[in-house]
Structure 1
């Protein structure tokens, strides 16, 4: 039973780790790992010296913070709301409705967004015009880019994120709620004093794991939404790696950029884990 999982991690997680070596080489595909020239930290120095570095860093961190602030709490809120539904049939129906968007590809999601928000016949702009306003070109506006990215993420992934929290809520002892009712606690106080403390460790662990992917802002979604007009606020590390690594075949340089992202994620995970342990939580190790 363990074999498929073990093979998956060996083939797709551990063996590819050797690829980070090319971040310290002038990698030539025909010469391979063993015979390519070693250049030390040259690619990292070049990356930190690039005029685009701070723009990429700002855009990536901004989207990552938006994700933590606006998206991360929503699955918890939705899970708490679903947990309060007493009609089982209605609860299953709502769960199904919020899970379905997760299975749509980003190509489909972005395609729907283009249809809704385009200036030429888009539903949203038609409503704005009928309300007496001026049409807004959401799709090329730098001001609206981050808002649209987060709205898409929230719509697509919030429901799926509730699964773990609902599983944690299922383990809460019902007798605790009965005792709280006897003491006169309403639903709000029961949630605050029983439900949330019961899933606190789950929230902390998922938060720490999320920090490990702090700079992963979602390549596919952003590359589909990116254009010449919003590139100044939309270009992130993931799209930059694709641009220089695939389009320009700068394999070593793009690997150095990806390794920098992973290093930042590692530092954040270790720091968050240490802080959580100081506050009495178990952490991830």
Structure 2
């Protein structure tokens, strides 16, 4: 099989309610696939089925033989009354060397926290520690369930850039759940929009224009993504606003004096 991980016609029911209906998807080597969808659309249930943590009621899941998965769950609570350093946390359930743990923490940018108490970490710090823990498995695929949940916007951008850098350096695949296509759009190869069934899938820009995506997230979602939908005759400032390139103004080509001023600014 070429795919690392795939689902074929997966159905899942709980409490008399259909959670997933005939889901089929695959993740190829070195590919980043993002699952998006509203709350209650079945994203986490699908991840758990793909990982073998839940059993589908119908359909099948295939994993490449010997596949190694690094999993970062949506929620993981560490009892605050239980003293546990980051190094100790990384050694659960399997003991790892301090050198290996520190290497993983350095890769995720939090090596300075190795002796910190886990319960004292911020949301962003804890997500990076969880990511380091997943990397200790040297995974073929990283499975991340809402990794940026509870992190401020700046921290979310940093985290997604880190995930993209890890993917490129390690050559691993990534299967990511996110509510926000806008944030992950630049780094993902393929998007699957889920609402109990696969509403649409494909490249991010195509999905963002699909009628079912618009029906789920509304026209404001498409407007938020509009900066990606045209020829880039400009760049964007730190707030994401378009800024004309040298030789251009917002209304067309710049005058010689305007172009000269912009060249000096650049």
Q: Say which structure is richer in helix.
A: 1
What TM-score do the two structures reach when normalised by structure 2? 0.25
Structure with greater strand share of residues = 2
> Based on CA coordinates, which of the two structures has the bigger radius of gyration?
1
TM-score by length of 1: 0.24
